[in-house]
Amino acid sequence: MDPRARYPSGVGNGRGGTPNYYGRGPSPQQPHQHHQQQQQQKQTSGAHHHQQYAQRQQQQHRHSHNHQQQQQQHQSHQQQQQQQQWLRRNQIAREAAGAAVTSEPKALAPSTAADGVNSSSQDWKAQLKLPPPDTRYRTEDVTATKGNEFEDYFLKRELLMGIYEKGFERPSPIQEESIPIALTGSDILARAKNGTGKTAAFCIPALEKIDQEKNAIQVVILVPTRELALQTSQVCKELGKHLKIQVMVTTGGTSLKDDIVRLYQPVHLIVGTPGRILDLTKKGVCILKDCSMLIMDEADKLLSPEFQPSIEQLIRYLPASRQILMFSATFPVTVKEFKDKYLPKPYVINLMDELTLKGITQFYAFVEERQKVHCLNTLFSKVLLMNTSIIS
């Protein structure tokens, strides 16, 4: 048997048969049909790709349109929220303004309406309990000012209330010079006449610089006499009556035990004579480690041999950063020596070229002791015509 007989002619690649080069495709007898089929397949594939591209474009367009709609909705929502917040704020502001107008005293309504502005910042002035105007004649010692106001020094409102209720309208010349310098922390050596506002010139900056929340002695005011101590402490209390500042006065001749008991309570400012304050300091009840300001009124008398040793001992209990203010009507040699020792670079204020206040006339009569009464009778009855006089 012929081995090639197992493979029919034209089938497979076996021996004796015709190689089947087209077994996986069309027969070579149909090339034209095969080309048409390929063209149809390409056309079908192109149409399919075009359809897919169109679908993708439609999807992208729909997605972009939806995204724009979402952005517009989000922006619209934000605008609505902002408008609602703005309306709520305006409503709250109107309600607050209405409540403020309702709560204002009726006496202030005409002033507010007349000004046409909100005068709430000036309401505290309208509520002050001012004393009657002082119509007494004033000399140039207190009227020759620079035109400053107490508010120019940016003082606490409570302190300003006490100043105006005390009857002070504008700062006097010595107050204009000393208050702003004292507020900066500089040492001061001031010379001014009695009766020109010296006491307020150092009390106002002292009250301003005190920390009300700090339970410690922060200011010490030294005076030579008990009467002056009482007078100075009273001025401090009146000026600071709207402040939470505790003022204590202590002098010799009063109960030391009572002063010790008082010092166990809060004290911010202490007024007294040098000897008594030194005694309390040595006993450990008058603590001066937080005292940042030492004020010496009538410094020429305080630096006499009677007081100067006590003052120098007292300064040793003060911190090194203390501030010293010295006020005096005269500058004797003792004041200059003390200044050179304890006030290296003081701010010097000298507002006087003579000791006598303007508007005051002085008369000196040198007579024997037994002739004094007769001389006074003669002066008042025949020579002098005056309403007020001081005999010394």
Residues 146-179, buried b or exposed e (16+ Cβ, 10 A)? eeeebeebebeebbbbbbbbeebeebbbbbbbbb
pLDDT at 372: 79
What is the total residue count of the chain?
Answer: 392
In this predicted model, which residue has the larger pLDDT, 328 or 41?
Answer: 328
Query: What ranges do the domains of the chain cover?
Result: 124-354
The stretch 14-21 carries a mean pLDDT of 48
The DSSP symbol for 388 reads: -
Beta carbons within 8 Å of 355's beta carbon, 6+ residues apart: 193, 329, 330
pLDDT of 324 > 50? The answer is: yes
The DSSP symbol for 381 reads: I
* pLDDT tens for each residue of 270-306: 999 999 999 999 999 999 999 999 999 999 999 999 9
* CA separation for the pair 311, 334 (Å, rounded): 13
Q: Is 49 helix (H, G, I), strand (E, B) or coil?
A: helix
* CA separation for the pair 146, 175 (Å, rounded): 11
* pLDDT tens for each residue of 125-135: 778 888 777 76
In this predicted model, which residue has the larger pLDDT, 205 or 136?
Answer: 205
pLDDT of 352 > 80? The answer is: no
Q: Which CATH number fits domain 124-354: 3.40.50.1820, 2.60.120.650, 3.40.50.300, 2.30.30.40?
A: 3.40.50.300
pTM of the prediction? 0.61
pLDDT of 191 > 50? The answer is: yes
**Pick from 16-25, 87-96, 214-223, 360-369: least confident:** 16-25
pLDDT at 369: 79
Token digits of residue 308: 């100067």
Helices and strands (H, E) in the chain, number of each type:
14, 7
Instruction: Pick from 51-60, 72-81, 374-383 the range whose average pLDDT is largest.
Output: 374-383
* CA separation for the pair 247, 236 (Å, rounded): 7
pLDDT at 220: 98
* pLDDT tens for each residue of 159-183: 999 999 998 989 999 999 999 999 9
